[in-house]
Amino acid sequence: MSDSEVLWVIAPNDYRGGRMWPAAMAIADHARGEANLVLKNTITVHRWEDRGADMESAYDEILFFVKNKREYRFEKDRIRVAHVYEGHEWGGERRKGNSAYHDQKVSRYNENGKDPGNVWLKEDRTQTDNQEIDETGPIPLEEAVRRCVIVGSDEGEAVYVINGGDSLVDTVTGEDRVVEKLAHTNLTGEVTN
C-alpha cells in the first residue's frame, strides 16, 4: 500500500453471547498492530431495513485506514450533500473558521454542499416548504461504497475487493474503476474470493 492509497473496511456489527461485540474496533486494533495503518475515521451506515428491522445488526461501520496521515487521498468535495439552509449556514456569519487540519483558515461554506459527516443518511426536504430536513433514512450500502470509491480513487484506477458480492463489484465498476478481486484465507484455512 503506497502512502497515498487508502483502505476501507466494512465491519458489520455483531451480536455474540447476548451482547454486542465491537467488531470494528477489533479490526482497527488488528490493522494498527499488524500493518501499522492509521485509523483516520469511521463512518456509520444504518442497515435497519436491509436486516429485517433486527436491532442486533442494525448498522455497519466503515473504517477508513491510511498508511501516512499526511499523504492520503480523500476528496470530500466529490461526496458533499445539499446544504440544509442554502446560503445561510452559520446564520450568514462566520464564513471563515479554523481547520482541524494543519492550523489553517478555511471557508465554512462550501458551494459544493455540506460535509456528509460520519453518519451517512438520506435527507428528505420535500415534505414542507422550508429548507429544514423533514425526514432522514439510511442510504444503501452500495451508495456508501460508491462514496468511498469516489473520494479515494480516480476513474480508471484499480480498486481491490475482498469478499465483495456482485452488487458491490457493480458499484465499483459503475464509477469507472477497475475491480481487482483478492482472495483471502478464512478462519478454517479455506481460500475464498
Query: Which helix (H) or strand (E) element contains residue 135?
Result: strand 135-138
Q: In this predicted model, what pLDDT tens digit does every residue of 92-108 receive, in sequence order?
A: 555 555 555 555 665 55
Residue-averaged pLDDT of the chain: 77
DSSP 62: E
- State CA 91 to chain mean position distance: 29
pLDDT (0 to 100) of residue 175: 92
Q: For the whole model, what pTM was predicted?
A: 0.74
Q: Which of 131, 135, 114, 5 is nearest to 68 (CA)?
A: 5
In eight-state DSSP terms, residue 81 is: B
Torsion of CA 71, 74, 75, 77, to 10 degrees: -130
Summarised one tens digit per residue, pLDDT across range 18-72 is: 777 778 888 889 888 988 999 988 888 876 666 555 555 677 888 889 888 888 8
More confident residue, 130 or 106: 130
